[in-house]
């Protein structure tokens, strides 16, 4: 496994998300044109003790499909399908690296699913506090 590198995204204009009302459950969903944006309530999906490195509930609770990601400043991590055992593992790695580096965030945990070079690619994001 590669070293986890958290990047910063300074989003100047909104990212549009596809609306796919009859799409499969969020882990299997693939965008047809641009990207799918899923929001997860951060507090509802934490598991374990707040003093320890964060871990995510399995399965993740309450995903909400978003139509757009507003401009702002975000931390993010990107990976391709197959880099982690599950999507949740990649999301949890992101949260643990943020915790390890002492980066503070706010708002929901955002998962962006897109196709790059014919492969599903994932980006997990949180707003800078």
Is 13 inside a domain boundary?
A: yes
Confidence of residue 29 (pLDDT cuts 50, 70, 90): confident
In which domain, by residue range, is 116 found?
A: 7-19+45-128
Is 39 inside a domain boundary?
A: no
Is 38 inside a domain boundary?
A: no
What phi and psi values does residue 124 have, to the nearest 5 degrees? -110, 135
Q: What is the pLDDT of residues 70-85, one digit of tens each?
A: 999 999 999 999 999 9
Name the nearest CA neighbour of 67 among 25, 105, 29, 112.
112
pTM higher than 0.75: yes
Name the nearest CA neighbour of 124 among 104, 94, 96, 97.
94
CA gap 57, 67 in Å, rounded: 25
Number of domains in the chain: 1
Is 32 inside a domain boundary?
A: no
User: Tokens 């204009």 label which residue?
Assistant: 13
Instruction: Report which secondary-structure segment, H or E, holds 35.
Output: strand 35-40
Is 28 inside a domain boundary?
A: no
């Amino acid at each position: 496994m590669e070293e986890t590198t958290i990047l910063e995204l300074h989003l100047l204009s909104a990212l549009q998300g596809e609306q796919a009302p009859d799409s499969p459950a969020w882990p299997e969903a693939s965008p047809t044109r641009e990207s799918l944006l899923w929001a997860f309530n951060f507090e509802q999906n934490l598991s374990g003790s707040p003093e320890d490195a964060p871990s995510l509930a399995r399965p993740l609770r309450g995903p909400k499909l978003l139509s757009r990601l507003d401009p702002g400043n975000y931390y993010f991590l990107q990976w391709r399908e197959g880099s982690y055992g599950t999507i949740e593992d990649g999301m949890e790695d992101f949260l643990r690296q943020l915790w390890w580096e002492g980066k503070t965030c706010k708002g929901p945990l955002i998962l962006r699913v897109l196709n790059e070079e014919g492969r599903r690619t994932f980006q997990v994001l949180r707003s800078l506090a």
